Amino acid sequence: MTQSESRKFLIDYLLDERGENIKTPADEYSQRRLLRSLMNVRPPVKADERFLAVQDDYLREEIRLKGITDGEALEQIAPDICLWQGDITALKCDGIVNAANSQMLGCFCPCHGCIDNAIHTYAGVRLRLECAEIMQKQGIAEPVGKAKITKAYNLPCKYVLHTVGPVVYGRLTDKNIKDLESCYRSCLALADENHLKSLAFCCISTGEFHFPNDIAAKTAVEAVKSYKAETGSKIRVIFNVFNDCDY
């Protein structure tokens, strides 16, 4: 199948699954928006093998077309630490960190601009299902500052580490800073536990959770450096930023 044919197949499948009779738009932009929206709102349920095969081929080609960046080729700004501005869903490394919410099921808002939405979109529908299975076993919402690990499915990395950052309401507190530090340390500990050699962090809590960008950056760097100094960890850390402010 071409990308266009695959896109239409996936849209038809998801519309049929929802019992909706919507005409697929003719233009590519609208088709992409519709497909992403349908994936974003889909509940964590199994899909048949035909859908998954087409989805996987489609998403991997979409990521290839975006241009995959090899984390091993990035320049270090300190021993085992890199700073990279780009799309984390196109980064090849052992693990990437997702700024999740306490449901830990991904973003259900169609085409939302958050990193949670992007990661779940390009990983594919099986990521939400795996997260749902983890949360069902856990039985409670994911606490702030902890971390979980899943497969990455169609992303060029091997694993996704999910962490819930602190939400800042009004004035920044010492607890907010400690919770953010805990996010970084929990992810690093989980990555080491699973023998990951490289881990890319997004800017946890700086978007929808309103953590001040400058203090978040300082907290992130200090948390990583202190963890590595205390544990002797040799994991290669990539600080991934998307906008100029965070860079």
pLDDT value, residue 209: 84
> Could you tell me the pLDDT band of residue 98, with boundaries at 50, 70 and 90?
very high
pTM of the model: 0.95
For 51-86, how does the pLDDT look when each residue is reduced to its tens digit (9 = 90+)? 999 999 999 999 999 999 999 999 999 999 999 999
DSSP string, the chain: --HHHHHHHHHHHHHHHHT---PPPSSHHHHHHHHHHHHHH--S----HHHHHHHHHHHHHHHHHH-PEEGGGSPEEETTEEEEES-GGGEESSEEEEEE-TT-S---STT--SHHHHHHHHH-HHHHHHHHHHHHHH-SPPPTT--EEEE-TTSSSSEEEEEEPPPP-SS--HHHHHHHHHHHHHHHHHHHHTT-SEEEE--TTSSTT---HHHHHHHHHHHHHHHHHHH----EEEEEE-STTT-
pLDDT band for position 242 (cuts 50, 70, 90): confident
**pLDDT single digits (tens) 185-216:** 999 999 999 999 999 999 999 988 889 999 99
